[in-house]
Structure 1
Amino acid sequence: MTERVTHETVQSGRGSVVRAGGTRRLAVQVPADSAASLPVGDVVRVVLDGSEHHASVAATADDTPVVRGAYATPRLARQPNGADNELAAWLADAGLEAGRSVHVDVVAAGFKYGLRAPGETATYESTGTPDEGLADIAASLGDGDGA
């Protein structure tokens, strides 16, 4: 049976909705010193309104972690190539514009995070992190859809 945790029982930090890159698309930036700091260079799971997605964590020019999209698989998170960006859809649906804050819940540090609009609540499936050996094998296969 899968254990469930609420946003009240996990560590949380505050992120900001920003305009990122030359395209000026919306992204979520999380201060590196935040309790919810994201691992730059990794693909993590991101939960938006109860749906789990995958996101590649990049860094801004000042090394602040930023998530520019959320996708169906780790491969698409690394190379979206026109895939549906669920983060953009979630931000639009929540009415979150640049300058607004976002709650970043740490479900499993370095592996799974939840994003919530201010005032929203969330319940997450508490999945353990994958065995590092298996994760390394998946990543070496190039697809890495196990992350």
Structure 2
Amino acid sequence: MRTPLITRQGFENLKQELDYLWREERPEVTKKVSWAASLGDRSENADYQYNKKRLREIDRRVRYLRKSIEHLKIVDYHPEQEGKVFFGAWVEVENEVGELKKFRIVGYDEIFDRKDYISIDSPMARALLKKEVDDEAEVVTEAGTVEWIINSISYEK
């Protein structure tokens, strides 16, 4: 089960995607399907088949977005979070061999297409929650256990 949290920016992005799919892309694809269907034999009509498939993908994504938006809880920054790792934090960590990582802890729906975001449900995020700068976090994964030291914590205000 995923934690139903999202940043305000992530929530707005999902709403924009839903609006674009429903008001712009879907009507355009529907026109193409109607046009291709009017040409006759649909079994050999690539335009019809492709656009019909795209229409199903759009409808599936729209259903997912509507359901998600309804259940997600927006988490805004609060000054009490300063100095500790909580949802929405930008965190820089370093391991014993000097490898540095910097990422933001966000909701599941925000991590796609972003290499610098990790899910609140990830082992790294779970290990870092409520820690402070210079604290050590032991991250247990399938590959083994690694210790990370927190170098910095910041928030988008």
| TM-score interval, smaller chain | under 0.3
- Name the structure with the higher strand share: 1
Higher relative contact order (Cα pairs below 8 Å, separated by 6+ residues): 1
Using the size of structure 2 for normalisation, the TM-score is 0.23
Bigger radius of gyration: 2
- Name the structure with the higher helix share: 2
Using the size of structure 1 for normalisation, the TM-score is 0.24
